[in-house]
Amino acid sequence: MSYPTQPTASHFINGAYVEDTGGTPIEVMYPATGAVIASVHAATPAIVEQAITSARAAQGAWSALSGTDRGRILRRAADMMRERNHDLSVLETYDTGKPYQETSVADATSGADALEYFGGLAATLTGEHIQLGEDWAYTRREALGLCVGIGAWNYPTQITCWKGAPALACGNAMIFKPSETTPLCALKVAEILHEAGLPAGLYNVIQGMGEVGGALVCDPRVDKVSLTGSVPTGRKVYAAAAAEIKHVTMELGGKSPLLIFDDADLDNAVSGAILGNFYSSGQVCSNGTRVFVQKGIKEAFLARLTERLGQAVIGDPLDPATSFGPMVSQRQMEIVHSYIAKGVEEGARLVTGGARVEREGFFLQPTVFADVSDDMTIAREEIFGPVMAVLDFDTEEEALARANATEFGLSAGVFTCDLARAHRVVAGFEAGTCFINSYNDAPVEVPFGGSKLSGVGRENAKAAIEHYSQLKSVYVRMGNMEAPY
Ligand code: NAD
């Protein structure tokens, strides 16, 4: 069987597809079947050099354009992504295994939102005038230069757009290295940007494992690194970037809490817990995987949750009726499976799921554990799969303290009908992205990012501009200079 997924070549550099078969081969598997659907090569040092040289050569003229001119290209690319949403969504499904029901509304569309939003913002980027008596000063908002983006495998189209759109809007060039597990989607974004009129060299995609990412991060010609990945990788990349005092954005892992109070609307709370644990088969960084449920509502919550999970349609991700797909890889499935075994071993109560789905591909059942205690492995470590841990609590104070007792700080949510409590609880959360009576919404207008080990910097919204540009201050003296001698 042939798949419509083999890219023209492995890399996209200086406005064109480029191949170098000297690089380590990377096979791309369709997670729903395990079939090899494409093959690319990791970037060789020559490819890395080509990408850096062409990006640096193109960046100066790009940043000299007006913001309106830059923005127009991004907005055109956004329109093209929406027009091609079906094909891009099918590719995202092949790359990740996520159901088309999700990819058709959450990936290319989210990428298009970022291109449209930052395309619109580009023309509004200004410095400020500061009057100082007769003298005055002004600030210029300038590009950083060459930005490197490094992606995780769960949202390949979205991640490349969330990094590329603000970088380009601010006048930077970008080299994006997708995850080696999902190398296909970013190439399509590069194609579209260039078709929309982006000058060659400004948006390059090169493939490879951590080694290629490391070569980019360590190169002195790179000014900024934005990583979406795990905390261990974040530590390494942050340290390498620090050696040359490069700018960084770190979007890392989490083990986020979701607090459900007795007075919450039961079905809304169950919906929040489902979206916050099982969307994309649980492979979402901001997931609320520690679900603290107040004792009065606990059994009703578990009963309704189990009933609703029974309605999940598990199967062929390309079938629009499917609502729950496979894990991205055999390896990820095995990691998650071993966490499930740990949950059982450490005494958590398996409420539902826990096993592989009997079919080809890397499918695991949506899994819920109850009676989980704070010290269990499944309550402490990021699993990155469809495994929910339900913990009981009595009081607000206790729940908040336990919710914050983690080294992570990406997201947090609360379901309650008590308005004052909702705001009090989110004010107390040690997390970058919080939700009241909702979970996992990520519109481009709202800053997204983590605190503590979950990261530094923010993506999306005007906040991202701060992370892809720098200010130059200019003091202007109107009279004579005075000096002591
Ligand atoms: P990962 O950390 O294994 O890899 C992320 C990327 O870093 C990959 O492209 C990889 O090739 C690259 N990399 C690995 N070592 C490197 C090195 N030494 N130098 C430079 N680059 C290197 O993560 P993953 O398994 O692909 O993704 C899952 C993780 O990503 C989870 O922890 C998840 O929470 C996190 N994530 C975070 C966000 C967020 O926005 N906060 C979003 C999605 C995923």
Expressed in angstroms and rounded, the spacing between residue 436 Cα and the centre of ligand 1 is 28
Q: For ligand 1, atom 15, which residue shows the shortest CA distance?
A: 210
Decide: 329 in ligand 1 pocket, CB within 6 A: no
What is the pLDDT, as a whole number, of residue 84? 98
Pull the structure tokens for residue 126: 């200004």
Tell which phi-psi region holds residue 40, choosing left (phi > 0), alpha (psi between -120 and 50) or beta.
beta
> Residue 172 to residues 82, 256, 371, 460: CA-CA distances in angstroms?
24, 33, 50, 16
Decide: 410 in ligand 1 pocket, CB within 6 A: yes
Q: Is 368 helix (H, G, I), strand (E, B) or coil?
A: strand
Decide: 439 in ligand 1 pocket, CB within 6 A: no
What is the pLDDT, as a whole number, of residue 353? 98
Determine the Cα–Cα distance for residues 416 and 395; give it in Å rounded to an integer. Answer: 13
Burial 258-286 (b: 16+ CB within 10 A, else e): bbbbeebeeeebbbbbbbbbbbbbbbbbb
What is the pLDDT, as a whole number, of residue 4? 76
Atom of ligand 1 nearest to the CA of 229: 30
What is the pLDDT, as a whole number, of residue 93? 98
Expressed in angstroms and rounded, the spacing between residue 218 Cα and the centre of ligand 1 is 17
Burial 163-191 (b: 16+ CB within 10 A, else e): bbbbbbbbbbbbbbbbbbbbbbbbbbbbb
Q: For ligand 1, atom 39, which residue shows the shortest CA distance?
A: 251
**Is residue 160 within 8 Å of residue 176, measured between CB atoms?**
yes
What is the pLDDT, as a whole number, of residue 2? 58
The angle formed by the CA atoms of residues 360, 362 and 365, to the nearest 5 degrees, is: 100
Burial 355-386 (b: 16+ CB within 10 A, else e): eebeeebbbbbbbbbbbbeeebebbeebbbbb
Which residue matches tokens 């060299």? 201
Expressed in angstroms and rounded, the spacing between residue 206 Cα and the centre of ligand 1 is 16
Decide: 230 in ligand 1 pocket, CB within 6 A: yes
**8-state DSSP, 405:** -
**Is residue 104 within 8 Å of residue 86, measured between CB atoms?**
yes
For residue 174, list its beta bridge partners: 147, 203
Decide: 252 in ligand 1 pocket, CB within 6 A: yes
Q: Which residues are tagged catalytic?
A: 163, 251, 285, 459
Whole-model pTM: value is 0.97
Q: For ligand 1, atom 5, which residue shows the shortest CA distance?
A: 229
Decide: 42 in ligand 1 pocket, CB within 6 A: no
Expressed in angstroms and rounded, the spacing between residue 214 Cα and the centre of ligand 1 is 12
Q: For ligand 1, atom 1, which residue shows the shortest CA distance?
A: 229
Pull the structure tokens for residue 349: 């109560």
Atom of ligand 1 nearest to the CA of 151: 9
Taking the CA of residue 444 as centre, how many other CA atoms within 13 Å lie in the half-sphere pointing to its CB? 24
Which residue matches tokens 């500061």? 130
Which residue matches tokens 């400004």? 202
Q: What is the rounded radius of gyration, in angstroms, for the C-alpha atoms of the chain?
A: 23
Taking the CA of residue 184 as centre, how many other CA atoms within 13 Å lie in the half-sphere pointing to its CB? 26
**Is residue 333 within 8 Å of residue 355, measured between CB atoms?**
no
Residues with pLDDT less than 70, the chain: 1-3
Decide: 84 in ligand 1 pocket, CB within 6 A: no
Decide: 166 in ligand 1 pocket, CB within 6 A: no
Expressed in angstroms and rounded, the spacing between residue 230 Cα and the centre of ligand 1 is 5
Decide: 382 in ligand 1 pocket, CB within 6 A: yes
Between the CA atoms of 2, 111, 32 and 288, what dihedral angle is there, to the nearest 10 degrees? 170
What is the pLDDT, as a whole number, of residue 324? 98
Candidate from 216, 285, 460 with most ligand 1 atoms within 8 A of CB, to mutate: 285
Candidate from 26, 160, 179 with most ligand 1 atoms within 8 A of CB, to mutate: 179
> Residue 441 to residues 202, 328, 426: CA-CA distances in angstroms?
30, 22, 15
**Is residue 223 within 8 Å of residue 201, measured between CB atoms?**
no
Decide: 447 in ligand 1 pocket, CB within 6 A: no
Pairing verdict, β 349-352 and 367-370: antiparallel
Decide: 180 in ligand 1 pocket, CB within 6 A: yes
Atom of ligand 1 nearest to the CA of 332: 25
Decide: 54 in ligand 1 pocket, CB within 6 A: no
Q: For ligand 1, atom 4, which residue shows the shortest CA distance?
A: 229
Atom of ligand 1 nearest to the CA of 178: 9
Atom of ligand 1 nearest to the CA of 254: 34
